[in-house]
Amino acid sequence: MSIVKSLSGGDGDMFYIKHNSDSFTMIDCCMDETTGGRIVKELKTESAETGIVRFISTHPDDDHIGGITYLHEKMPIVNFYCVKNEATKEDQSDDFDQYCALRDDPKKAFYLQRGCTRKWLNESDQERDGAGMSILWPVTDNKKYQEALNAAADGESPNNISAIIQYTLNGGATVLWMGDLETGFMESVELIPVGRAEILFAPHHGRQTGKVPEEWLNVIRPKLVVIGEAPSKDLDYYKGYNTITQNSAGDITFDCVSGKVRIYVSLDGYWVDFLENEGLEDSYGTYVGTLNI
């Protein structure tokens, strides 16, 4: 089994994976003075017995790196994964400065691109198994991606330099993250760099501006789309797909086991009608049902 958790830290994205190997992965960061203490305490507790702890940054937008300075202070990041970039910002925050320091550190940084391999990320050896992570995007010589890199280097939005990250539990679910990729960009790249996944974390927090094109959705065929935290007026609720909305659910925990995913939320009263009810105890929050895969 493994645990995938989407943390509710504000209008942004933050996740972790407690793998069924000797690995713990954090994806993005979004916390403030009201949520940071609770979140870091949980991260430290859940990763305490793990040999490899890594942080993956999809891209350096403020709502994906917010609180990374505090996180690094309390839980030093020694394995930092990001796309290779020279993003700049006119008004640089402490968190962006911390991101850049980690990004440019030759001892800590590993640069993501489609098909990249790394020991214990997706390769096993006699010491420990791989973590089941795959990088599907970027294709670094793609013209549209290079244009997005140049725009980010000129201080424009870094949304479209986001990596696409996939996690697969052997015999269990496949989960997909897409950062803040924008609809227009996805439609322009002239290839579909995704595959089948049972759970999709909607890009750009589920905003209309990041709606995954139907052509891509036909490839992914998600059994569940998770709509992130953002103002409700900006969201696309993916009509025709099963969804969970983090604005209403709070923290969402996915207990991944062979053939199914048991789902728990932190806010009482949240309910959906498309999950099987196994009558489980509220082990990781309020049990809302099981997704069969």
Residue-wise pLDDT tens digits, 133-187: 999 999 999 999 999 999 999 999 999 999 999 999 999 999 999 999 999 999 9
Q: Supply 103's token pair.
A: 């990004």
Residue-wise pLDDT tens digits, 58-82: 999 999 999 999 999 999 999 999 9
Instruction: Describe the strand order of the beta sheet including 260-265 as a list of residue ranges.
Output: 109-111, 80-82, 52-56, 23-27, 15-18, 2-6, 252-257, 260-265, 286-292
Residue-wise pLDDT tens digits, 19-73: 999 999 999 999 988 899 999 999 999 999 999 999 999 999 999 999 999 999 9
Q: Would you say 174 and 200 are in contact if contact means Cβ atoms under 8 Å apart?
A: no
Q: How confident is the model at residue 88 (pLDDT cuts 50, 70, 90)?
A: very high
Kindly give, in sequence order, each residue whose CB lies less than 8 Å from that of residue 220, ignoring residues fewer than 6 positions away.
176, 194, 195, 196, 197, 200, 212
Q: Which domains does the chain have, with CATH numbers?
A: 2-292 (3.60.15.10)
The backbone torsions φ and ψ at residue 127, rounded to the nearest 5 degrees and listed phi first, read: -80, -45
Percent of the chain exceeding pLDDT 90 equals: 96
Whole-angstrom distance, CA of residue 256 vs CA of residue 3: 6
Q: Supply 40's token pair.
A: 């870091």
How high is the mean pLDDT of the chain?
A: 96
Q: How confident is the model at residue 236 (pLDDT cuts 50, 70, 90)?
A: very high
